[in-house]
Structure 1
Amino acid sequence: MVKMSAIYQGEKHCEATHEPSNSHIVTDAPKDNNGKGEAFSPTDLVGVAAGTCMLTTMAINCEKEGVSIKGSRVTVEKEMSANPRRIAKLNIVIHLPQNIPHDYRKKLEGFALNCPVKASLRDDVQMPVAFHYDM
């Protein structure tokens, strides 16, 4: 179990703390929902959590097999639905090293597509994932 906490600071800003490491992040409501958009929104964090979870899950499994994906990167574009307001779609693009063996790529992609964050989201959240071996 990991304990996290957050304090509402006013003006739709929160400061969250990851208690084991004492690291902090701040959130703000997005401009299209009465905020200033000065930081990640809570739904932005869900999007970046999905992308970083995919990278992390690939890395954990790759390291066990002696494959490095160091320097890989992910971009996430979040689309919201209006009514009800919720995440409708996360467009995820993962850039990986060119030197990943072709016969290993499907296995690597499977690690990403089965990450815990993706598995935790509703089935009706669209989450197309594109893999590019271009680094």
Structure 2
Amino acid sequence: MVKMTAIYEGEKHCLLTHGPSGAHISTDAPKDNNGRGEAFSPTDLVGAALGSCMLTVMAIGAEKDGVNLVNSRVSVEKEMVQTPRKIAKLTVVLHMPQSIPHDYRKKLENIAMNCPVKLSLHPDMQIPVQFHYDI
């Protein structure tokens, strides 16, 4: 079990703390929802969690197989709907090293598509994912 805490600091700002490490993340409401957009919004963190989870689980699998993923990167674009206000779509684009063997790529892609964050998201959410081997 991992404990995380948050303190509301006023003006739609929260300070989140990761219990085991003491690391902090600040959040703010987005400009389109009465905030100033000065930090990640809570829903932005969902997109960031998805992208970083995919990279992390691929790295865990690749490391076991002696495949180097250093400099791989991901971008996630979030689209919201208003009624009810929620994330409608997270578009994920991963850029991976060209040196990854062709016969290994499907294994990595399957690992990413089954990351814990993706599996935890609502099935109605659209999550298109693209893999590019161009680094």
Q: Kindly provide the CA deviation profile for residues 81-117 of structure 1, in whole angstroms up to 9, marking residues without a partner as x.
A: 1101000000000000000000111111000000000
How many equivalent pairs are there? 135
Query: Is 1:51 equivalent to 2:51 in the alignment?
Result: yes
2:27 alignment partner AA: T
Q: 1:50 deviation in Å? A: 0.2
1:65: which partner in 2? 65
1:120: which partner in 2? 120
Q: TM-score, normalised by structure 2?
A: 0.99
1:109: which partner in 2? 109
2:3: which partner in 1? 3
The alignment partner of 1:75 has SS state of strand
Q: Kindly provide the CA deviation profile for residues 20-72 of structure 1, in whole angstroms up to 9, marking residues without a partner as x.
A: 10000000000000000000000000000000000000000111111110110
The runs of 5 or more residues in structure 1 that have no matched partner are none
The alignment partner of 2:67 has SS state of coil
1:40: which partner in 2? 40
2:132: which partner in 1? 132
1:95: which partner in 2? 95
Q: Which runs of 4+ in 1 moved over 6 A?
A: none
Structure 2: distance between partners of 1:85 and 1:96? 33
Structure 2: distance between partners of 1:25 and 1:36? 16
2:65 alignment partner AA: E
The runs of 5 or more residues in structure 2 that have no matched partner are none
Identical-pair percentage: 70
1:87 alignment partner AA: I
Q: 1:12 deviation in Å? A: 0.2
Q: TM-score, normalised by structure 1?
A: 0.99
